[in-house]
Amino acid sequence: MSLLDKTASELLADLEAKETTAVEVTTAFLEQIKKADETIGAFLSTRDDLALAEAAEVDRKRAVGEPVGLLGGLPVAIKDLLCTKGEVTSCASKMLAEFRPPYDATVVQRLRDADGVIIGKTNMDEFAMGGSTENSALGVTRNPWNTSRVPGGSSGGAAACVGASMAPLSIGTDTGGSIRQPSSYCGVVGLKPSYGRVSRYGLVAFASSLDQIGPIAHTVEDAALLLEAIAGHDPADSTSANVPTPSYTASVRQPLQGLRLGIAREHFGDGLDGEVDASVREAIKVFESQGATVRELSLPHSKYAIATYYIIAPCEASSNLARYDGVHYGYRTDEKAMLAELAEERKVLEGAGDRAKLEALDTSLVRMYRKTRSEGFGAEVKRRIMLGSYALSAGYYDAYYVKALKVRRLIREDYDAAFKDVDLIIGPTTATPAFKLGEMNEDPLAMYLQDLYTVSANLAGIAAISVPCGISKSGLPIGLQLQAPPFEEERLLRAAHMFQQATDWHTKRPN
């Protein structure tokens, strides 16, 4: 079996048995990137020499009997909005195309501590705003199952690189479904941990109360391994929860007895593709065959989740992205050209004797701010900044933002009530398989509705996972979503692993 065909857990077992080396494994994946990424476009950069040096150091430690970390030389790809010291962290934006952070994000440091080999940085929707990775300022990523389709977003590169066997593990982020949706589209496993389970220190923020970092892999066992490496309290992050972190690798293979699953009737209504519906219902039967009981329940406020999310997230984005002003760091407009433009406008207005327009003419500072942000941000980022700024403005703050926060609380209370009667909630990850590139570019609302089944977990701060559960007649993967109460990732992983033990959807790979 090729190294590329093996799961992360299988590769780790080979490394520990000294049947292969970290350098050999890293080399195999770097060669696959060179072979496949010209078509897929999952990576913005690779770290060939640095990655091989990191792999060689792990091999040295293993050879002399020094302790080796949990990841033991496994290559890991990182979504390009996690700070890596001295290396470009662009957020797939012109605004940060040359930004080199002076420090590592906590997750990046934990990967290094666990002897993970950071193989490269992956493409994404600009500042994580989008659901197709078509909003990247640095290029489009394609779905490895069908290159005319999107890989999902915003972690499209992170999911596509695992789906195309260019990395055994990757790190994505999930603000409203940005790990789970692309994982569903690319036929891989993607986990959104509970809010606070993984440190956000060093994550370039989109919406601070919603963003969460998590693993993408071929199997649930691999996702458990990567989560264990990155999870845990971090004093540098005030939103990091100071709660115990279980050994997910030790418990993931233990089946759950008496598992109670809930089906939210709101997740099986209009708009759900027939093939997705059938695949998810077959997956539910698999759990029933393993002794699980299933009951229908309601999440009555879930119908407001999209509207609530697309007020809260843009408001937080508007606040977070205010820092990109052309002064502190990042992109800055061409000042020489700008001043020349300003002088020419002033000359024309003076010649015309138009004093009113002269007095209203932008100052050089205001113009620099305006041109920097206009040139540095893409269309979707601008759209969300404007939405958020409007909702936060005087006269609208109470009507929109405050009301959205109240509905968010009701959504969380729906989950709290549901989890009194069930252990997990089961349903589709997305309403359809991956859509065509360009299909929704002119209809932002249709794009936003792709998050229909995923945003609620972010609003409620709970844990959720997507696992492959079928393939459509057109050859596209279908994802099953499981949702768990806050900080019950262990339960979530064990249940998802049970499903994978009884099925083989996770073993399917694109041609």
- Per DSSP, the residues of 117-172 read EEEEEE--SGGG--SSS---TT----BTTBTTB---SSSHHHHHHHHTTS-SEEEE
Q: Identify the pLDDT of residue 346.
A: 87
- Per DSSP, the residues of 93-126 read SGGGTT---SS--HHHHHHHHTT-EEEEEE--SG
* Residue labelled with tokens 């990775």: 133
Asked if 273 and 433 touch (Cβ cutoff 8 Å), the reply is yes
Question: What is the spatial distance between Cα 279 and Cα 503, in angstroms, rounded to a whole number?
Answer: 12
The model's pLDDT over 163-210, given as tens digits with 9 standing for 90+, comes to 999 999 999 999 999 999 999 999 999 999 999 999 999 999 999 999
Domain spans of the chain, in order of start: 3-266+273-299+418-507, 325-376
Please tell me whether residue 214 adopts helix, strand or coil conformation: strand
Tokens standing for residue 238: 């005030």
Question: What is the spatial distance between Cα 162 and Cα 508, in angstroms, rounded to a whole number?
Answer: 12
Fold of 3-266+273-299+418-507: Amidase signature (AS) enzymes (3.90.1300)
DSSP state of 353: T
User: Over the chain, what is the mean pLDDT?
Assistant: 96
Q: Identify the pLDDT of residue 11.
A: 98
Sheet holding 477-484, edge to edge: 43-46, 117-122, 75-79, 169-174, 212-217, 189-192, 463-471, 477-484, 424-428, 260-264, 293-297
Please tell me whether residue 482 adopts helix, strand or coil conformation: strand
Please confirm, yes or no, whether 148 is among the known catalytic residues: no
CB < 8 Å & 24+ apart, contacts of 394-402: 400/311, 401/311, 401/312, 401/315
The model's pLDDT over 457-508, given as tens digits with 9 standing for 90+, comes to 999 999 999 999 999 999 999 999 999 999 999 999 999 999 999 999 999 9
Asked if 118 and 51 touch (Cβ cutoff 8 Å), the reply is yes
Q: Identify the pLDDT of residue 469.
A: 98
- β-bridge partners, 146: 143
Q: Identify the pLDDT of residue 357.
A: 82
Residue type, 303: K
Q: Pick the catalytic residue from 9, 93, 178, 466.
A: 178
Lowest model confidence (mean pLDDT) among 105-119, 149-163, 348-362: 348-362
Taking 90 as the threshold, does the pLDDT of residue 364 lie above it?
no
Tokens standing for residue 359: 């007095």
Q: Identify the pLDDT of residue 70.
A: 98
The model's pLDDT over 48-98, given as tens digits with 9 standing for 90+, comes to 999 999 999 999 999 999 999 999 999 999 999 999 999 999 999 999 999
Please confirm, yes or no, whether 79 is among the known catalytic residues: yes
Tokens standing for residue 131: 């659901």
Buried b / exposed e over 337-365, threshold 16 CB at 10 Å, is ebeeebeeeeeebeeeeeeeeeeeeeeee
Q: Pick the catalytic residue from 90, 93, 136, 154.
A: 154
* pTM for the whole structure: 0.96
Q: Identify the pLDDT of residue 51.
A: 98
The model's pLDDT over 314-339, given as tens digits with 9 standing for 90+, comes to 999 999 999 999 988 889 999 899 88
Asked if 68 and 61 touch (Cβ cutoff 8 Å), the reply is yes
Question: What is the spatial distance between Cα 351 and Cα 365, in angstroms, rounded to a whole number?
Answer: 24
Q: pLDDT above 90 covers what percent of the chain?
A: 90
Spatial CA neighbour of 458 closest among 214, 127, 267: 214
Taking 90 as the threshold, does the pLDDT of residue 225 lie above it?
yes
Q: pLDDT above 70 covers what percent of the chain?
A: 100
Q: Identify the pLDDT of residue 450.
A: 85
Q: Identify the pLDDT of residue 447.
A: 83
Where residue 34 falls among pLDDT bands split at 50, 70, 90? very high
Please confirm, yes or no, whether 154 is among the known catalytic residues: yes
